Amino acid sequence: KPMAEAGAVAVIGLGRFGGSLAVELAKHGVDVIGIDSDEAVVAEYSDKLAHVSRADATDEEVLRQLGIDDVSRVVIAIGSDLEASILVASRILKLGNRHIWAKAISETHAEILHQLGIRNVVRPENDMGRRLAHLIRGHISDFLPIDEDFVLARTTPPVRVSDVPLASLGVRAEYGVTIVAVKRAGGTTWDIADRDMTLYADDEILIAGHPREVEAFSELDK
Ligand code: ADP
């Protein structure tokens, strides 16, 4: 097994997503093993990554030959070929790699990957579309999904929670969100929020919670 190394990351599928992920990791000094079944794709990445193989990743024997069973981190970046994605995911799970991420292109796809046992399923198009919609509408200036049911957002305080100390408001009980930090108008630093603080309409705040509640809170009084 010439390639495998515990610190390495295997990226399976070097499409737009997997390709840019692999190159970004390599830029930061990570030893990347790229795998793609397409000859032209492999040729494109051969001088950008330390190890690139043309292989069908649905073949367990091939994965073992490439030493993927010795790599602790694997990213399955196959989106449009649902069958390939599922087959590769089940093979990788069988190899017992410790940390596995997989890209999904639809809700159903994500659900199947979760059911198989992949804990980190990412939906880049979906996440980016949702994030961009918030940025374009302007009520949220930054939006970071942490999990399906937990996000961080940067917004401004609704009028109804401004000008009185946070302690008197019960924001978490009433709106289901937590105000995490505050940046004062014209200020440059973020301060961790506490009960004694008073928010003003031209402050910026960082809030955390369920996406539905974070979105609703960000739209209050706007
Ligand atoms: P993106 O939208 O990020 O471009 P795609 O799903 O279009 O993602 O690209 C997936 C990549 O995975 C393609 O380059 C394709 O050749 C590769 N691929 C698909 N099936 C396999 C497989 N069984 N083994 C290895 N690579 C595969």
Render the chain in DSSP notation, one character per residue: --S--TT-EEEE--SHHHHHHHHHHHHTT--EEEEES-HHHHHHHTTTSSEEEE--TT-HHHHHHTTGGG-SEEEE---S-HHHHHHHHHHHHHHT-SEEEEE-SSHHHHHHHHHHT--EEE-HHHHHHHHHHHHHHSS-SEEEEEETTEEEEEE---GGGBSSBGGGT-HHHHHSEEEEEEE-TT----EE--TT-BB-TTSEEEEEE-HHHHHHHHHTT-
What global pTM score does this model have? Answer: 0.81
Tell me which of 16, 17, 24, 36 to substitute to probe ligand 1's pocket, judged by most ligand atoms within 8 Å of the beta carbon. Answer: 36
For 127-219, the fitting CATH number among 3.20.20.140, 3.30.70.1450, 3.30.70.20, 1.20.1630.10 is: 3.30.70.1450
Atom of ligand 1 minimally distant from the CA of 36: 26
25 or 221, greater pLDDT: 25
13 lines ligand 1 (CB under 6 A): yes
218 lines ligand 1 (CB under 6 A): no
- Parse the chain into domains and list their residue ranges: 9-122, 127-219
Asked if the model's pLDDT at residue 2 lies above 60, the reply is no
Instruction: State yes or no: ipTM above 0.90.
Output: yes
Residue-level pLDDT at 7: 85
Tell me which of 33, 37, 61 to substitute to probe ligand 1's pocket, judged by most ligand atoms within 8 Å of the beta carbon. Answer: 37
CATH match of 9-122 with 3.40.50.720? yes
